Amino acid sequence: HVDALRLDAIHAIHDETAAPFLMELADAVGRYSTDLNRRVYLIAESDLNDPRVLRPAAAGGLGLDAQWADDLHHVAFTLLAGDECPYHRDYDRFDLLATAYRTGFAYTGQFSATRERRHGHPPAGLPGRQFVVCVQNHDQVGNRKFGERLGALVGFEAQKLAAATVLLSPYTPLLFMGEEYAEPAPFQYFVDFADPGLAEAVRRGRKEEFGLHGGDDPPDPQAEATFRRSALDRDLRHGGKHAVMWAFYRELLRLRRTTPALRAPDKERMRVTPFPEHRALVAERWDGDDEVMVALNYADRPAEVRLQLRDGVWDRLLDSAD
């Protein structure tokens, strides 16, 4: 009953054989899918920005079905949270948001200061559905010192902007548990090891990892209280701002499902116009005669921009300020 398998950190798998293990795995899963008469997917986590991960073996690729495209998270989070983001040095540039929205990768061969080299390659010809995008996930939240969610770092309107950035994109969206109603509980790093030596090693490792930054120690990963603090309260969906966010996510998903121009994860039928001086971006998406304009304002003030739109009747479908 498994539909997909996410492969963790494939950039850490060093395999220089002519037929790499991941290619063999993709081939085996493909044959398994045929035997089952249904699709089974392999989804890679990779920070290489290498389109060969997704290209079929016949085109010199590994043949995986999709990959986590973390660049969109990194640049959106950096623009919204600023120095709170560990990727601040590489992603504090608005033009990278436009590139990530247009192609799936922000870095497609430019110089990366953190890596001290050029990074990535343009993923030309790859469909949007192969790129899994998010603004929160277990890594980006759980690996923070205190496990703060996006809502603890940015305002309520910024959370809605982040949601729209992901759900109205031409990619496959990933939602992290609780973000759809702005869950306030953190998601802290916790473990439950029976081996006291292993538990202590993890506890010590977390302290050393964050010790350079000073301040309080991170929560004890082995403590039950750390786990308890991370529990969801889904009843929050029915009241206050949490109900507003819940309704907003539902409406974004409804629009994505029912609007022809938004339904297909197709980045080829999209035109992206950035306005870096306003920290604003407009994406026009279309399917036949149906066209949608998505306007995203990452500044903390209104932005006046000028666009040439196709003739016709335009209706306002959603305004996050309402």
8 assigned to active site: yes
Per this entry, what is the length of the chain? 322
**Residue 137 CA, distance from chain mean position:** 7
- For tokens 């971006």, the residue is 281
DSSP code of residue 264: S
Q: Which of 94, 29, 93 is nearest to 63 (CA)?
A: 29
45 assigned to active site: yes
Q: Which residues pair with 42 in a beta bridge?
A: 5
Q: Which two tokens stand for residue 304?
A: 């006046």
Would strands 131-133 and 117-118 be described as parallel, antiparallel, or unpaired? unpaired
Whole-number Å distance between alpha carbons of 154 and 140 = 15
Q: Which two tokens stand for residue 159?
A: 């959370």
Q: Which of 8, 157, 233, 277 is catalytic?
A: 8
Tell me the residue ranges of DSSP E strands in the chain.
Answer: 4-7, 41-45, 66-68, 111-112, 117-118, 131-133, 172-173, 270-275, 280-287, 290-297
Q: Which of 24, 27, 35, 45 is catalytic?
A: 45
Q: Which two tokens stand for residue 87?
A: 């990727």
Whole-number Å distance between alpha carbons of 257 and 151 = 26
Q: Which two tokens stand for residue 79?
A: 């623009």
Q: Which two tokens stand for residue 273?
A: 């116009």
Q: Which two tokens stand for residue 58?
A: 């016949």
The secondary element (H helix, E strand) that includes residue 23 is helix 21-36
Contact in structure between 80 and 70 (CB atoms under 8 Å): no
Residue 17 sits at φ, ψ, to 5 deg, of -75, 160
> What amino acid positions are annotated as catalytic residues?
8, 45
